Amino acid sequence: MTVNETGAKTRAPIAGLAPQGRTASPVATETVIELKGVGVHYGRTHAVRDVSLPVARNQITAMIGPSGCGKSTVLRSINRMNDLIPGAKVTGEITFHGKDIYGSGVDPIAVRRHIGMVFQKANPFPKSIFDNVAYGLRINGMKDNLADRVEQALRGAALWDEVKDNLKKSALALSGGQQQRLCIARAIAVQPEVLLMDEPCSALDPIATARIEELMNELVKDYTIVIVTHNMQQAARVSDATAFYSADVDEAGERFGFLVEFDETQRLFSNPADPRTEDYITGRFG
């Protein structure tokens, strides 16, 4: 991977993105997840409207945009985390390998096992390092070779060398960056296919942030990643595709978020199709 003058990384282009594919919903050939006309209500508020985009396998898809435009809301809809928020309702369709994750009979817990999540603030359980990583394995009945699985997850999260002699120590004694990598280990322990990351570095210093970004570049070889970030430079550095969201007010005076543009990261940052994207990435927004 290299970084061009816009700061955007240049890895293999997203399969299937046509050169003229400048619409909000270009088609990726190796689509793992697809959002089609997705909207999210919180009670009577239609907070996010009509989002359509594909998420390509073994790519990092970033979601950027101003505060309150619905990035986290959309992210949470991808593994049914919004189900846990009273009054939240998702409309439209979200497919995982072509299957509607909101279809009747689909178990949201099974969805979350395949599509894991890492949150903004590291949230280890008040348990040992080992038990944090083993937690999901135990509740998912993946108890065979538990120690090996925990070790593999900690290695995968680039934390093993730092904690291997202290696995019984409380996870809460780790630094913030280590705690976030522990949460990544906990998420990957159950071998999901997709990792959703909601501003995973926003509480971290630049060194810990760089380690997580490095780690993402490793993880994407095995996982498909969707990241929400406030940090445009981070989106440019780590992602392959970027979705830019914004917010507007409808005729009834209600504020709502929507997708402005989705494209390969390099192109979105160097030659955005929509003037609203350009205003945002050049700092002229608002």
Spatial CB neighbours of 189, under 8 Å, sequence gap ≥ 6: 133, 134, 136, 137, 149, 150, 152, 153
Q: How far is the CB of 68 from ligand ATP (least distance, A)?
A: 4
Q: Does 72 bind ligand ATP (CB under 6 A)?
A: yes
CA atoms within 13 A on the CB side of 281: 29
Q: Does 200 bind ligand ATP (CB under 6 A)?
A: no
Q: Does 125 bind ligand ATP (CB under 6 A)?
A: no
Position among 26, 54, 70, 136 found at the interface with ligand ATP (CB under 6 A): 70
How far is the C-alpha of 25 from the C-alpha of 233, rounded, in Å?
23
Residue count, binding to ligand ATP (CB under 6 A) = 13
Instruction: Identify the CA nearest to 93 among candidates 38, 160, 43.
Output: 38
Mask: binding to ligand ATP, 84-123, rule CB under 6 A, as x and -? -x--------------------------------------
Kindly indicate which of the ranges 9-17, 23-31, 69-77, 107-115 contains the residues binding ligand ATP, using the contact rule CB under 6 A: 69-77
Position among 9, 71, 80, 237 found at the interface with ligand ATP (CB under 6 A): 71
Spatial CB neighbours of 209, under 8 Å, sequence gap ≥ 6: 177, 201, 234
Nearer to ligand ATP, 47 or 238 (CB): 47
DSSP-assigned letter for residue 110? H
Position among 38, 47, 154, 194 found at the interface with ligand ATP (CB under 6 A): 47
Q: Does 250 bind ligand ATP (CB under 6 A)?
A: no
